[in-house]
Amino acid sequence: MPVDEDKIVKKMVAEIADSNERFMGQSHDIENFKRIVPVLLEKGIDNVNFSMFDEVTKSKLLNALGEEYIRKGDMNNSVKAFILAGNRQRLVEVGEHYEEVGLFSNAIDTYRLADANENLLKVGKKSLENGHFADAIKAFRLCNDAESLTKVGDECFQKGKWDYAIEIFSAINLPHKLVEIGDKCLRERQIGYAAKAYELAHDKEKLSALGDVCLREGLLATALKAYSLAGNDMMVQFIRENFGNKLSNF
- The per-residue pLDDT for 41 is 84
For residue 16, give its domain range: 1-86
Query: Please, are residues 145 and 121 in contact by the beta-carbon 8 Å criterion?
Result: yes
By 3-state DSSP, what share of the chain in percent is helix, strand and coil, each rounded to 5? Answer: 80, 0, 20
Domain-embedded: residue 195: no
Output the pTM of the full model.
0.75
Q: How many residues does the chain have?
A: 250
- The per-residue pLDDT for 45 is 87
Domain-embedded: residue 234: no
Cα dist. 172→128, 157, 179, 192 in Å? 18, 15, 14, 21
d(CA 91, CA 106): 11
Beta strand extents in 129-196 (DSSP E only): none
Domain-embedded: residue 80: yes
**Cα angle: 63, vertex 64, 65; to 5 degrees:** 90
d(CA 160, CA 137): 16
* CA-based nearest residue to 236, from 213, 205, 215, 217: 215
Domain-embedded: residue 69: yes
Q: Is 103 helix (H, G, I), strand (E, B) or coil?
A: coil
- The per-residue pLDDT for 27 is 43
What are the pLDDT digits (tens) for 112-157?
Answer: 999 999 999 999 999 999 999 999 999 999 999 999 999 999 999 9
- The per-residue pLDDT for 20 is 38
Task: Give how many domains the chain has, as a whole number.
Answer: 1
Query: Please, are residues 213 and 225 in contact by the beta-carbon 8 Å criterion?
Result: no
Domain-embedded: residue 23: yes
Domain-embedded: residue 73: yes
Read off the amino acid at residue 18: D
Domain-embedded: residue 50: yes
**Tens digits of pLDDT across the chain (250 residues):** 444 545 544 454 454 444 434 333 344 455 566 677 887 888 888 888 888 888 888 888 899 899 999 999 999 999 999 999 999 999 999 999 999 999 999 999 999 999 999 999 999 999 999 999 999 999 999 999 999 999 999 999 999 999 999 999 999 999 999 999 999 999 999 999 999 999 999 999 999 999 999 999 999 999 999 999 999 999 999 999 888 777 755 4
